[in-house]
Amino acid sequence: MISSDATKQADPPNRVVVVMGVSGSGKSTVARTVAAALDAAMLDGDFLHPRANVEKMASGEPLADEDRWPWLDALNDAAFAMSRTHKLSLLVCSALRKRYRDRLREGNPGLSFVFLKADRALLESRLTARRGHFFKPEMLRSQFEALEEPGPDEPDVISVGVEASLDEVVAALIGLLRESRPSLPR
């Protein structure tokens, strides 16, 4: 006789999805909304920067890679911890360069990426329209210069275009995540 355990569909291992993309592509907003809908853990990587990085950025100085490694290691550890307790966790990190993504992957086999793919002109118009927000086009330029778009050599990255409305982007991402894990809340 087949035991009920054997007939049960085995759930895949716990997953951590890094929501990546340039500043203004919607990472925080999208991740927050998706996490609420799917009862997932969510962490905005911006909050794990060492104090020295926060102060450097506040003074208008760009971060160097040496500043980023301790931050990425903290994110790597956070991803590992989240995967111990949650079926699905969302981690927000721009992860613009492949070497940053590789650092996040180290020792985290259940980790994958969703790349919120944004057109520069679209973001410029979105950010200019944001009221009460000072927009520096220079910042967007440096983001696109730093961006190394994931290619076919990174099969653990799914790209989602953000030209659609926020609701549509959120729905698309929820659909993709449910496809790979049917037991997520409906």
Binding residues (CB under 6 A) for ligand ATP: these are 21, 23-29, 94, 126, 130, 162, 165-166, 169
Q: How far is the CB of 44 from Mg ion (least distance, A)?
A: 6
Residue 146 vs 183, nearer CB to ligand ATP: 146
Selected from 1, 21, 28, 128, the binder of Mg ion by CB under 5 A is 28
Residue 88 vs 169, nearer CB to ligand ATP: 169
CA distance 24 to 130: 11
Answer yes or no whether residue 29 interacts with Mg ion by CB under 5 A: no
**DSSP E strand stretches across 1-156:** 15-20, 41-44, 88-92, 111-117
Please, are residues 116 and 44 in contact by the beta-carbon 8 Å criterion? no
Residue 83 contacts by C-beta under 8 Å, 6 or more apart in sequence?
13, 14, 15, 16, 89, 108, 110, 111
Q: How far is the CB of 49 from Mg ion (least distance, A)?
A: 12
Residue 44 vs 154, nearer CB to ligand ATP: 44
